[in-house]
Structure 1
Amino acid sequence: MDTPSTLADNPRSSVNEHIAARLRALRDARGVSLAALAERTGVSRSMLSLIERGESSPTATVLEKIATGLSVPLAELFSPVPTTDATPPSPLRRAAEHVVWRDPASGYQRTEVSPAGATDFARIVDVSFPAGAHIAFDTTHYDAPVHQQVWMLEGAMHIRHGDDTYELSVGDTLAFLLDRPTAFHNPTRSEARYAVVIVPSAASRPRLP
């Protein structure tokens, strides 16, 4: 059996270049300048420029700010890069084609598993969360609601959504809107794993060339 080849297994530059290409495509599709994006996100124009040139390894927190500034879920920064090929995207995505990325700050790993032909409707992300790790996303503005469900597969997680905190164990599912600051914490000594299903509303789905 072949071993899947992912962005996480390749040189760091490959990951950076993928994010850079996605950022350029999303920004161009929306007609947003670097200066305007910097104002929206609080991320400096110089840092955005470095990321867009593939010369920086941004953290999940920074990427979330950028995604929110573009009014898309974080997962959009890991979608397939648009091409000029007129062939419709495939409804099938092989394991070897999964995009894997690890946050340089918290160590949490996300694997984008949805086929390119299905991401306009829903997307699935497989997350591995290190023991004791914590990450917080404070950005909350989207042009239209984005719905998210978390399904615990292994271990346990504490998820704070606004003022509410939920303790999830294996098999538990949490549904919420991405409309408030959200924090994720693994309180155990073992790695946790969960699936995230993201469903953007029709108005928030990106329209890329």
Structure 2
Amino acid sequence: MGKSIGKAATRPATPPKPDIDAAIAARIRSLRDARDLSIEALAEKSAVSRSMISLIERGETSPTAVLLEKLAAALGTTLAGLFEPQGEPGGPVARKADQPLWRDPASGYVRRNVSPAGAPVQIVEVSFPAGAEVAYETTRPKRIHHQVWVLAGAIEVTVGSETHRLVAGDCLAFVLDRPTRYRNRTRQSARYAVVIAEG
């Protein structure tokens, strides 16, 4: 029996998944460097404090979705773009095990970047808890098209001053040129996909 226990103990452990906060930090630094922006310049463009950006880039805090959206807009990318891996695009298949999962510390919603890195259209799957709400105030100078397809449950999406109640199977298309708010007024979690295309 002792030998069996010894053998089990020596089995190689499953490699840990990369720290998502560290990956986001590296991505923000990389985009900022590519645009030749100092932390001060990014702070001014994004309305996020210099100290907060510094903490995020060092991986010392878990930023909210609202903060990340402000940084993404200032860096000329989408929120989904902050979760793309660095380097050259990979192959045509993004395996589920490799798709990054991230939880918003403010609302508790969980997002999964589904698309392969570098794909011209991005697909994100979101699990949205009961009672959750996320409001994005940023707008974009270039056209970014969104489609929100509800897979389960019900949510409200407010684009500018117009509110749309969506249930499973409904799909809403809009351009990201006005403040946008997502809300789950129900007692059950919802799940939806966001399809994002620039141009």
Same fold (TM over 0.5): yes
Decide which of 58, 66, 84 is 1:61's aligned counterpart.
Answer: 66
Asked whether the 8 Å contact 1:22–1:77 carries over to 2, the reply is: yes
Larger Rg: 2
Q: Distance in 2 between matches of 1:135 and 1:104?
A: 11
- In structure 1, the partner of 2:140 is 141
Runs (5+) with no aligned partner, structure 2:
1-13
Structure with the larger RCO, 1 or 2 (CA within 8 Å, 6+ apart): 1
State whether structure 2 residue 43 is matched by structure 1 residue 38.
yes
Deviation (angstroms), 1:89: 2.2
Q: Distance in 2 between matches of 1:166 and 1:153?
A: 16
Q: What secondary structure is seen at the aligned counterpart in 2 of 1:116?
A: coil
The two structures, once aligned, show a CA RMSD in angstroms of 1.6
Deviation (angstroms), 1:127: 0.3
Deviation (angstroms), 1:190: 0.4
Paired letter, 2:139: T
Q: What secondary structure is seen at the aligned counterpart in 2 of 1:132?
A: coil
Which portions of structure 1, spanning 4 or more consecutive aligned residues, are displaced by more than 3 angstroms? none
- In structure 1, the partner of 2:177 is 179
**% same residue:** 56
Runs (5+) with no aligned partner, structure 1:
202-209
- In structure 2, the partner of 1:200 is 198
- In structure 2, the partner of 1:91 is 92
- In structure 2, the partner of 1:104 is 105
Asked whether the 8 Å contact 1:148–1:177 carries over to 2, the reply is: yes
Q: How many residues align?
A: 185
Q: Distance in 1 between matches of 2:63 and 2:187?
A: 26
Asked whether the 8 Å contact 2:150–2:169 carries over to 1, the reply is: yes
Paired letter, 2:74: G
- In structure 1, the partner of 2:160 is 162
Q: Distance in 1 between matches of 2:140 and 2:153?
A: 30
TM-score of the pair, normalised by structure 2: 0.89
TM-score of the pair, normalised by structure 1: 0.85
Paired letter, 1:124: I
